[in-house]
Amino acid sequence: MGRKTSKKHAGVNADHTVESVSGGNADDNNRSHKDKKTTHVPQTSFLRKQIDPETAKYFAEIANAIEGTEIDPEERSVICGNALEETRGKEAELATDYIISHTLQTLLEGCSLDHLCSFLQSCAKNFSHIAADRSGSHVVETALKSLSFHLQDNENHSLIEHALKKICKAIVVNPVDIMCNCHGSHVLRSLLCLFKGVPLEEFHSTKSSVGLAERLNLKAPHAKDNVSLQSVQIFPSLLKKFVSEMLNAASEDISKLQMNQYSSLVLQTVLKLLAGNEQELLHLIRVLLGSSAGNANTGNLLEGITIRNILRLVEETAYSHLMEAILEFAPETLYNELLTKVFRKSLFRMSSHHCANFVVQALASHAKSQDHMDLIWEELGTKFRDLFEMGKFGVVVSVLAATQRLHSHEHECCQAIAAAVCTGDEFPKCIIPRILFLENFFSLRDKSNWSWPHGTKIHVVGSLILQSIFRLPSELIQVYVTSITSLEEHHVLEASKDPSGSRVIESFLNSNISGKQKRKLVAKLRGHFGELSVHPFGSFTVEKCFTASNLNLRETIVSEMLPLQPELSKSKQGPYLLRKLDIDGFARQPDQWKSRQASQQSALKEFYATFGPKETKSFEKESFLADTVSKSKPGKLKDIRKEIETTLASAKTSNTPFLAHQVSKKVRRSKDEKKRHRKDGESESKRKKIKV
């Protein structure tokens, strides 16, 4: 949406970019003859009138007066309002002028709500032309953003709603052109967000990494975000009415909207904004799928929809993105029908396609039940090696994450991934290295002679696969534990310095694997903790190694870091490590440092003995608590919850606060200790008197 540096003024076509940016030629090849007849393109006949010299001079003087100067806010509002009144009847020409549009943006930011709404209502007649222009779109978005600031006061809602209704009325006359325009689609998305009261910048700045983290269970799903969207009700009826009228007006051009990249973005925004409104979502999704039936019964929601057409469309870039959003927000009934009636028996073929494979990833990521997982696993569970060889790593990762989320086929999935990368005599030793370098390994024809490629970056998706696997119970991933603990020392060191590899090492050390196995891996880094501590990625690994180590290994880690204190204090992570590992304390008094480490273990052990799972026998076998912490499972947490509930119940019956049950023991213990110390002191003084 960046502006170009061209400074054209008069006689410029306000919609000169529509055909070139909307992908019209490519879309026409895929559209039917009927669609070509019904497509409306009235914008091509709109020519911006020439701006007279006096008007251009006036706005230049206004720009000099208000831009870069300090003016009283009230006086500034008056100046901006008066200047906006001069735009009456010339809004389209001025807004689409490259230079004057900047001045209009400044005026719209500083004017009152009355002048702001008046300007938007005056723009309604030519709103589509202004929004589709590279300069005009910035003017409209500035006006909408200024409106959003006034939404905080409920008294302003009626005035704002009246202005928005007039704009909507102008858009629905022919919404297809503005939806398929690169500038217009962005304006339309901002307008839709304004109806819901969602901050425009936050909604448009969604990062792809956030969605990826949610799909891989690395981040909690944004259900909370959806709840917040549903809880904000600024103009809910206006949103639903506008979407409905827009769809009705574009009913004959749905095929174009399905294939256009900009209209796809608008429709994805609508799907997210309607999250929680099941009836509206069902209607919208059925229209986007190409439904010809008016109403559909539950269990037969896809009546009138051509399944072959959907399978063809998901191979198009724009529609595959749209289908991902449909699968994310579709109610469970509709998701079930899409999986069982449309995509079933086609998952592997879709996974092989460069666009449709993302739809398969979305299907796995948004599977609702174990039955859904069974259907997906039936088709893809035996195809992991084929998918790896085709470079479709994301499909495997999404299926793995879905098995973990739904607790279905977890063990089979781990076995299938291991079998896909490693077989024969090298099993299981080669599993971890080959997954770390997935792309490098599967790019070779002769895989039997593959070896660790020194100096090559570790594959991001391979790292994500291993991070997901090490979150599973230890009994399901023993072959992976054997493989990672069999790595050569220099391979562990190289992985610890890699941004993706260090994540794998950290996930292993955070897992519920036994402390003995963790220390086996940590010991391979002996002699390198110092250089890792000052490394931007290795420093995080050092912290995890310290947590997972026993007292002897901890002492080794700190001893190797001690000579590098000056370098550590200058690095980004260094000061934190110096405090966390108490390097200074170890340098001054090593014995006391050891005592503090032991007392910390004792305190944590006592905490877990009181509040943790009853099965804490690992304390007797392991030297440090990290193993016990990692071995807490969901089942054990339920036992803890039951224990707390019973304690709370007894506390209610005895009218005693809950914490009193825990504190009273310590209070009684401290009183007994004080008495014992008092007696010991008295007996000691008596002994001294006798000696004297």
The model's pLDDT over 252-261, given as tens digits with 9 standing for 90+, comes to 999 999 999 9
> Chain-wide mean pLDDT for the chain?
81
- In this prediction, residue 666 carries a pLDDT of 45
| Residue 422, both tokens | 């490693």
Instruction: Give the C-alpha separation, 206 to 401, whole Å.
Output: 21
Q: How far is 582 from 594, CA to CA, in rounded Å?
A: 11
Query: What mean pLDDT is predicted for residues 6-31?
Result: 38
- Enter the tokens of residue 172: 């629905």
**pLDDT reading at 24 higher than 70:** no
Q: Using one digit for the tens of pLDDT, what is the confidence trace for 360-411?
A: 999 999 999 999 999 999 999 999 999 999 999 999 999 999 999 999 999 9
Quick one: how far is CA 517 from the chain centroid? Answer: 33
Higher pLDDT, 120 or 634: 120
Q: Write the pLDDT tens digit of every residue in 107-126.
A: 999 999 999 999 999 999 99
pLDDT of residue 525: 96
Q: Name the residue with higher pLDDT: 426 or 104.
A: 104
Rounded to an integer, the average pLDDT of 283-310 is 72
Backbone angles phi, psi at 618, to 5 degrees: -65, -20
Instruction: Give the per-residue pLDDT at 643.
Output: 59
What percent of the chain has a predicted confidence (pLDDT) above 70?
A: 74
**Cβ–Cβ under 8 Å, residues 123 and 87:** no
For residues 139 and 209, the model is more confident at 139
Lowest mean pLDDT among 143-152, 470-479, 676-685: 676-685
User: Which one-letter DSSP state was computed for residue 343?
Assistant: I
State which H helix or E strand residue 295 sits in. Answer: none
Predicted model pTM: 0.78
| pLDDT at residue 227 in the model | 42
Closest CA to 395 of 404, 406, 384, 403: 384
- Residue 225 to residue 85: CA distance in whole angstroms: 40
Which residue, 505, 601, 500, is CA-closest to 544? Answer: 505
> pLDDT tier at 620 (50, 70, 90 boundaries)?
very low
Instruction: Specify burial of residue 131 (Cβ count, 10 A radius: 0-12, 13-18, 19+).
Output: buried
Q: Which whole-number Å values give the CA distances from 53 to 9, 48, 56, 57, 60, in the listed order?
A: 11, 15, 5, 6, 10
| Residues listed for the chain | 692
Q: Which residue has the higher pLDDT, 349 or 678?
A: 349
Amino acid 70: pLDDT: 78
Q: pLDDT tens digits for 306-357?
A: 788 899 999 999 999 999 999 999 999 999 999 999 999 999 999 999 999 9
Give the pLDDT of residue 510. 94
Read off the pLDDT of residues 202-242 as tens digits, 9 standing for 90 and up.
Answer: 665 555 555 566 667 666 555 444 444 444 568 889 999 99
Q: Express each pLDDT in 168-191 by its tens digit.
A: 999 999 999 999 999 999 999 999
623: which 2 tokens? Answer: 């030297």
- Residues forming a β-bridge with 13: 47
Tell me what the mean pLDDT of segment 87-112 comes to: 93
Q: Is the pLDDT of residue 20 over 70?
A: no
Q: What is the mean pLDDT of residues 631-659?
A: 50
CA gap 75, 387 in Å, rounded: 66
510 or 628, greater pLDDT? 510
Tally of CB atoms within 10 A around 84 = 23
- Identify whether the C-beta of residue 613 lies closer than 8 Å to the C-beta of residue 640: yes
Q: Tell me which of 51 and 216 has the higher pLDDT.
A: 51
13-17, 341-345, 558-562, 636-640 — which is least confidently predicted?
A: 13-17
pLDDT digits (tens, 9 = 90+) for 467-495: 999 999 999 999 999 999 999 999 999 99
Write the CA distances from 266 to 128, 163, 176, 578, 645, integer angstroms. Answer: 15, 21, 11, 50, 49
State yes or no: pLDDT of 630 exceeds 50.
no
Which H/E stretch holds residue 565?
Answer: helix 565-570
At residue 316, the pLDDT reads: 95
Q: How far apart are CA 328 and CA 268, in angstroms?
A: 10
Cα angle 217, 220, 222 (rounded to 5 degrees) comes to: 120
Is residue 8 scored above 50 in pLDDT? no
Q: Which two tokens stand for residue 586?
A: 């170890």
Give the rounded percent of residues in the chain with a pLDDT score beyond 90: 60
